[in-house]
Every structure is written in structure tokens, then in C-alpha cells.
Structure 1
Amino acid sequence: MDSEQRKPLLNRKDKRNLTLLLCIILTFTVMNGTMFNVAIPDIAEEFNLLPSQVSWVMTGYILVFAIGSLMYGKLADLFPIKRLLTIGIILFASGATLGLFSPNYSVLLTARILQAMGGATIPALAFIIPARFMPEDRARVFGIVSATVAFASGLGPITGGLVGGAFNWRYLFILSILSLIAIPFLRKWLPNEERKKGTVDVLGALLIAGSITGLLVFVTTFNFIGLIGGFIAFCLFIWRVKTFHSPFIEPAMLKNKYYTATIATSFLGTSAMFGMIFVVPIMARTIYDLDTVQIGLLLFPGAMAAGLIGQYGGKLVQQKGSYPVLRLAFVMVIIGSMLISTFIGFPPYLMALCILVQYMAFPLIQSSTANLLTELVPANRTGVGIGMFNLMNFLSGAISSAVFGALLDLEHIRFQINPFASNGEFAIYSNLFIGLTLISAIALIMFTLVFRHRLVDNKAKANF
């Protein structure tokens, strides 16, 4: 058996240690993406910035992070994961150190981009490591990783509000610097791998990066130059895929209807989740007049519940399979969105319970989708296959935030779509959550229709 076919596996103790360590550094990374949201006003005040300027503290980070999640996925098919993670964490901590002492906005923006360049390795590889080194436990570990992402996304705003309020927004970078502690343990517990044969299509990578950049610039700033530039880059990328012998993304993968349907439904489901996380803080401030910490506490029960159910959800995927769990998750998003739409204006504790229902679906969508992708994608393309999954997740966050942000400007709307909602004064928020309900319903229908034959085949095999 050659080196490319050998799969270095982990013993039980190393699996447990590595999973725990991945969750810790993943928590730092995800929180780093959300806890700076609450610091934006303070940063703008310190450096005397306009809203359009300071927004790039988040936009630039998301942009590089999204592209990096795909790039590192592709690189993981060729280079040892241990090496990629080491480089990524060093870049992540270096950017944080630069941000901690940044004397001006330009240095701060450079620090955030450097952080994103390194931080993108962690969520990208956190889903690849179980698929490669823990195949028999991958569904369970996917559940734990997804639960960590959901929990950290809710913990980020609270941490940002507490640290930024008690000290200074610069101290938020210290949490990222602490990730350096993980390097020696990762190098000890991750198996050694050899450099695999193959080359990186650099031009193809640059073209796909350009198309994603153009799209994100358009959805975050509504600048049509970005949209045109992204479209041109995407057309050139398609040309590259058709003409180059080893393109960055294999066309056969994109022609697989099950793979593309899984990515598309995950995109829609995650859009609904990020849409909820984006709209709720604005709604809580407008309707309930909650401060930053109180808004974090409104989301916190859902984040805690997601963290708990994610671990159980991974075991459920392992026992029942990805298909029923993913469909259950979409049903939960539909119910949660409908409940929020109906009970807007009711006391915050009731709203927290409605949010909890939808929040619990997040790790189930992530873990079942990641597990399903490992079944659909050949082992030698797992990296880029899951890289596309991560990329679409980050794109869904950026796009849903931009779209719902624009819709929230229509505050004068009083027409209410939901017949069960009692307060027409909050119609715009109620209608937005009806929109999230429809998005989730479309994802559920699409997934069921595409996979119906595959589900029948699986049931026949099970009966046989």
C-alpha cells in the first residue's frame, strides 16, 4: 500500500484530546468573528471613522476568512494538516498581537486581515480532521465541532460586551494570542503525513478568490463594480476549469447533483440561521431597548442549548444517518422562525425560548451536512469538498446580513404577512422571520426531492 492510500488513525486517548483541543481553538476563532461586532462603535470613535470605513473591520475579516476556508480545504488534500494548522495559528496570533498595539486604523485593518488568513485554517480543518483521522467516529465529532461553533457564536457578543465595557476593545485580541498554546499539543496529537502528489492551480485559486471578493463587496456595500468584477473573474474561472488539466475545483464534483444539492440546502439553512442571529440584536434593541450584554443574554440560552444538542446530534447522525437528521433540523428552523415571527413584542424570556428552538437546529445542520459530504466526496477530495461547504457557510452569513440589513431600512411597512402575529407595529420583523421560514421550507423541499431516490435505495439496502 502506497503512502497516499495509508490513512494514519488515532487511538482513543488522542482522539479525545485532539477533539477537545480543536473545540477550544475553534471557540477562540468563532468568537473572534463575532465579539468585535459590539466593539465597532468604540473603534469608530477612537480612530474618528465613518460607518462605511469602520465596517471593513468585519467585512475584511469575513472576506479573507471565507476565501481562506476554501483555499485551506484544497491545500489539505496535498499538504500535511499538521503543517497547515501550525502556520495558520501563528498567523492568527501574529495578527492579534499587531491589533493589540495598532497605532492607527490602517494597522488595525492589516491585523484583522492577517488574523483571518490564519484563522481560516481552524474551521476549515476542524471538519477535515475527523473525516481523515477518525472515520468511524466522524459523525459524533462533527456534532461536537458544530455544537462548539453554535455555542461560540452566542458567547462572542457577550464576551465582547463584557471585555470591551470593562477594559478596552484592544483586549479582545488577547484571547486570540492565547491560541499559540495549542501548537505543541496539535503537533503531538496529529498524525504525521507525507506531502501528496499534485499541484495547486494558482491561477484558478486567484480567479475564484476574485469572484468571491467581488460578490462579497457587492452584498456588503452594494457597489456594482464589485459585482461586475466578480462576474468577470467567475467566467474566467469557468474557462480555467474547462481548459486546465488539474483545475482548482474538479468539474466532476460540481456535476454531482447530490453534492451540489447538499451544498445548496446547507447554504439556505445556514442563511436562515445567520439571518436570525443578525436580526435578533437589532430587534431586541429597537423593540425591547436591551443593551449589548442583555442582547447577548437573550441569545445565550439558544447557544447553550445548541452546544448541548450538538453532541447528541452527532451521535444521532452516527446512528440514524445524515438524511433524517438534516430534515429534522430544517423542520426545527421552520418552527423556530414561525414562533419568533408570531411572538415578537411578547416578553423577552418568551422570545428567548422561541430563539432557542431555531438555534438548536444550527449544529444539526452543520454536523449532518458535513457527514453527508464525506459520504458523497471521494477521500482524495475531502479537503476541497468540505472547503466548499465552509465557503458557502461564510457567504451565507455575509449575504443574509446584507440582504436583511437592507430590508430593515423599510421600517415604515405595516403590512403583516403572519396572520397569527398580534402587533402590527413590528410588522417588518415579523415579516422577515416569515421570510426565514420560507427559505428553510425551500431548502427542505429541495433536499427531499433531490435525495428521494437515494433515500429509497438506502431503505431498500437496509431492508435487504
Structure 2
Amino acid sequence: MNSGKTYDIQNPKALLFSLCFVLMFAVMNGTMFNIAIPDIAESFNLLPSQVSWVMTGYIMVFAIGALIYGKLTDTIALKTLITFGLCVFSIGSLVGFMAPNYTTVLIARLIQAVGGAMIPAIAFIAPIRYFPNERGKILGIISSVMAFASGIGPIMGGVIGGFLNWQFLFLTSSLIIITLPLLRANLPQEETNFVKLDYLGAGLVAGFIVSLLIGITLSYPISFIFSVVFLILVVIRMKTAKNPFIPPKLFMNQSYVITIMVSFLAISCLFGLMFSVPIMLRDVYGLTTLQIGLTMFPGAMSAALIGRKGGQLVDQKGSRTVLLWSMLLLMTGFFIVSTTVGLDPIWMSLSLIFPMMCFPLVQSSGADTLASILKDRETGVGMGVFNLLIFVSGAISGAVVGITLDVFRPQVPANPIGILGEGAVFSNIFLVFMGLIFIGFLIFKTLFKTYVVKAES
């Protein structure tokens, strides 16, 4: 499947709409269940450590699946992958809706993750493959949908769980299958070349991701030892296998490594913001779940609205320029939020617009930069690593913020114009995020080198 090939898309708008629709369902499926965790625990009389696997298990399988599907897109037709993924996801959703016990709920979530991991992989590959002349704009739209769904998911989860019950979240997720006929009708015909997958390499990568995420999300120190062992084995396998699961030459490209490093840093801070703001609004302001969702809604809407324009800027000005400017805006946004902690919730809601609108800008410009760097046969696995880092970044930032809130509770903010009080710790967290973005900005500006890829025959 060469990037130079022209694909016959009968209805590009319908294809884009269906991709956005299915992606919105997939992202909402993750964020909706955050709200349902206490209700599930109450239904089955579970401890917090037990019910946490509803999210932890889903994240682990989803992260691994995103990388594997990314690898498979280089050789298997997207129409085949998306048919498999949506069917499996819907089956998992129906199993969860009818689940009589917690074990079945957990199995349903894992089945959902197996199918749902296909969605972000294809959502980022499709614009690169089918819309090469509008790649930046389409990636901007895709990223804005992800940002909007992340913001609207908790609201939907609260409404559905409040008026019905948590099982109807599974039923809502199963509606994703209605997009399959539209996707199949508009995806072009492609050849499927089944090749032997490096199963040992894939297994070692999976072991590394699982042990790392368990260590991060459940605070098991021994898991980090296993993750180091798996990482060493992954590197050895990459160097010795004839066709390794992840080709080592991918990481010999300095521009690729710098781009994923900086994107990881920026997206980690954004996920850290989305993790810490609901806690802040509850602890500092005493808001209800619905009020928290409404406070964050303007930020989610700004992300949805800015995505398409940001994507057009990527096409016009270049992804490197947009990524640099979006990081400067993100730094400014974090400083504004750090300063307004403790003010009226309306001011906090307005200040959140600045960093949250940068989510699609960072994601689309980062993805477009990678697309211009990667060779034809590296696009799938290269973007798969990018998607993998997105999900791992969420787990890492959430764990770090959680530990910070457990250990530190200063009353004086480091921000010189911040407000004294119990919100000081959150002000400091946002100030640290600003500093990390500044480091990422300097790394990208000084070390990134323009790299033009020639299409493979």
C-alpha cells in the first residue's frame, strides 16, 4: 500500500463524517465510564482496587491494540480491520449491558478494548492515506473530535447513569455499529497482503506496556522491574529478528524521536489538566458531577471549533510552525489557569478554554509532522507508536498528579500572582505543566531537523 497511490473515494464527506462519528463514540466510551466507576462498585460491593480494573484493564488492552492495529494497517485493508473492530466492540458492549456479575463486566470491557483499539489507529491513518492534499485539515478535524468527546463524555455518562443506570452506558456504546455500513460503503477497495507478524516481538512489547501501566496505575513497584526486563528483551528482539514488530530504524530517525517525545510531553500535560481539573472543582469549589461537566464544557467546545481551522493552518503554514506556536499558546494557557485557581468558577471555566483549545492543535500538527517523516511501510507502525504514547501519557500524568495531591497540600502557590488557599496545589501543578511545555518547546525548536521522505516503490 504505497502512499503515492491515488484512492477512489466516492463520497469523501461521508467517509470523514463516519470516521468522526465512530471516533467520538470510542473516546466517549472511555470517559463515560469514569463517571460510572462508583456505581459499578456499589452494584457488586467492590473495593476501589477491584473496580479500578474496569478502567485499568481497558487502557492496557486499548494501548496494546492501538499499536498492533497500526502495524496491521500497513498490510491489511482498512475496510477489513474496521469491520472486525466494530463488530467485536459492539459484541463487548452488548455483553456488558447484560452482565450479571462483575467478572462479566470486566470481560466485556476487555472485549470492547480489543475492538475499539482499531478506531484511533485507523482514524489517524485514513487522513494520511486518503486525503494527502488536505491531510492537515482532516487531522485537525479528527483531533478536535477527540478533544470534544473527551469533554462531553463525562457529561453524557452523568446524564445516562443518573436517569437510567451504568449498564445503559454499554448499550449506548453498542450503537457504534450503525456507522459500519457507511464506512464500508465509502472506504476504497484495497488489497490485503497477509504477512507473518512477529508474534514474539508483539508479545514482548505487550508485556512491557502491561507491566508499565500496572506499575503506574496500581502503584506496584515490582511491575517496574518487569517492565525494564521486557524493554531490554524488546530491544534485543528488534535487533535480532528478520522482520521485527517495531523496526529499529524507526528510532534512528532523530526527527521522528524528537516529534513523538515532544508530542508525548505536551499531551501528557493536557491529560494531566483534564484529570486534575475535575478533582479541583470538587475539592476547591464543591461542585457536583454535572456542574463539573458544565464548567469544562466551554473548553471542550473550543477544542471542537478550533480543530478544523488549526488543521488548515497546518496545510498552509506547515506542521512544524503550528506545533511550535501551539506549544507557546499552551504555555500561556497553563499560566492563565494557574492564576485563576480560586476565583469564581465562571472565570475558571473561561480560563480552561485557552489550554484545551490547544489539544487538537498539538495532536494534529504532531501527527502531520510524523506523516511527513515516515516512509510508506513505516506509516502504520509509526503512527501506532504515536497512538500508544497518547494512551500511556494519560495513565502516567494521572498517576503523577494523584500522587502529588496525596503528598503535597501547600497553601501558598508558586505562581507570584496566584491565590492563597487549598487551591494552591493545583495552581502549582499547572505551573509545572507550563514548565514542561517550555522544555518541550526548546527541544523541538533546537533539535528537530527537516526531513523529507521519498515514497517507496
Query: TM (normalized to structure 2)?
Result: 0.96
What do residues 40-95 of structure 1 show as CA deviations (whole Å, max 9, x unaligned)? Answer: 11110000000111111111111111111101000111111110111000111111
Alignment partner of 1:291 is 2:285: no
Alignment of structure 1 residues 402-413 onto 2, 5 Å: 402-413=399-410
C-alpha contact 1:73 1:124 (8 A) present in aligned 2: yes
Q: Provide the rounded CA distance (Å) in 2 between the counterparts of 1:256 and 1:299.
A: 38
Q: Provide the rounded CA distance (Å) in 1 between the counterparts of 2:225 and 2:16.
A: 42
RMSD: 1.4
Q: 413-422 or 145-154, which moves further after superposition?
A: 413-422
CA pair 183-64 structure 1, distance change in 2 beyond 3 A:
same
Q: Secondary structure at the match of 1:289?
A: coil
C-alpha contact 1:204 1:247 (8 A) present in aligned 2: yes
Alignment partner of 1:9 is 2:18: no
Displacement after TM superposition at 1:230 (Å): 1.5
- 2:450 maps to a residue whose letter is R
Alignment partner of 1:27 is 2:24: yes
What do residues 14-47 of structure 1 show as CA deviations (whole Å, max 9, x unaligned)? Answer: 2111000010110100000001111111110000
Which residue of the partner structure matches residue 461 of structure 1?
A: none
Q: Provide the rounded CA distance (Å) in 2 between the counterparts of 1:409 and 1:5.
A: 49
Which residue of the partner structure matches residue 160 of structure 1?
A: 157
Displacement after TM superposition at 1:385 (Å): 0.8
Which residue of the partner structure matches residue 266 of structure 1?
A: 263
Which residue of the partner structure matches residue 174 of structure 1?
A: 171
Alignment of structure 1 residues 49-448 onto 2, 5 Å: 49-196=46-193, 198-448=195-445
C-alpha contact 1:218 1:226 (8 A) present in aligned 2: yes
Q: Provide the rounded CA distance (Å) in 2 between the counterparts of 1:301 and 1:241.
A: 45
Q: How many residues align?
A: 452
Q: Provide the rounded CA distance (Å) in 2 between the counterparts of 1:25 and 1:299.
A: 23
What do residues 336-377 of structure 1 show as CA deviations (whole Å, max 9, x unaligned)? Answer: 111111111100111011111000000001111111111000
Q: Provide the rounded CA distance (Å) in 1 between the counterparts of 2:450 and 2:240.
A: 32
Displacement after TM superposition at 1:422 (Å): 2.2
Q: Provide the rounded CA distance (Å) in 2 between the counterparts of 1:411 and 1:171.
A: 38
C-alpha contact 1:67 1:391 (8 A) present in aligned 2: yes
C-alpha contact 2:76 2:194 (8 A) present in aligned 1: no
- 1:71 maps to a residue whose letter is I
Q: Provide the rounded CA distance (Å) in 1 between the counterparts of 2:140 and 2:409.
A: 42
C-alpha contact 1:9 1:134 (8 A) present in aligned 2: no
C-alpha contact 1:4 1:196 (8 A) present in aligned 2: no
CA pair 8-183 structure 1, distance change in 2 beyond 3 A:
farther
- 1:444 maps to a residue whose letter is F
- 2:78 maps to a residue whose letter is I
Q: Secondary structure at the match of 1:77?
A: coil
C-alpha contact 2:280 2:423 (8 A) present in aligned 1: no
Q: Provide the rounded CA distance (Å) in 2 between the counterparts of 1:245 and 1:5.
A: 24
Displacement after TM superposition at 1:4 (Å): 5.6
Q: Provide the rounded CA distance (Å) in 2 between the counterparts of 1:83 and 1:31.
A: 24
Displacement after TM superposition at 1:411 (Å): 4.7
Q: Provide the rounded CA distance (Å) in 1 between the counterparts of 2:111 and 2:44.
A: 20
Displacement after TM superposition at 1:454 (Å): 3.0
Query: TM (normalized to structure 1)?
Result: 0.95
Which residue of the partner structure matches residue 454 of structure 1?
A: 450
C-alpha contact 1:69 1:387 (8 A) present in aligned 2: yes
CA pair 265-209 structure 1, distance change in 2 beyond 3 A:
same
C-alpha contact 1:410 1:428 (8 A) present in aligned 2: no
For structure 2, the 5+ residue unaligned runs are 453-457
Q: Secondary structure at the match of 1:425?
A: coil
Q: Provide the rounded CA distance (Å) in 1 between the counterparts of 2:226 and 2:412.
A: 38
Displacement after TM superposition at 1:199 (Å): 2.6
What do residues 102-123 of structure 1 show as CA deviations (whole Å, max 9, x unaligned)? Answer: 1111100000010011001011
Q: Provide the rounded CA distance (Å) in 2 between the counterparts of 1:333 and 1:262.
A: 17
For structure 1, the 5+ residue unaligned runs are 458-464
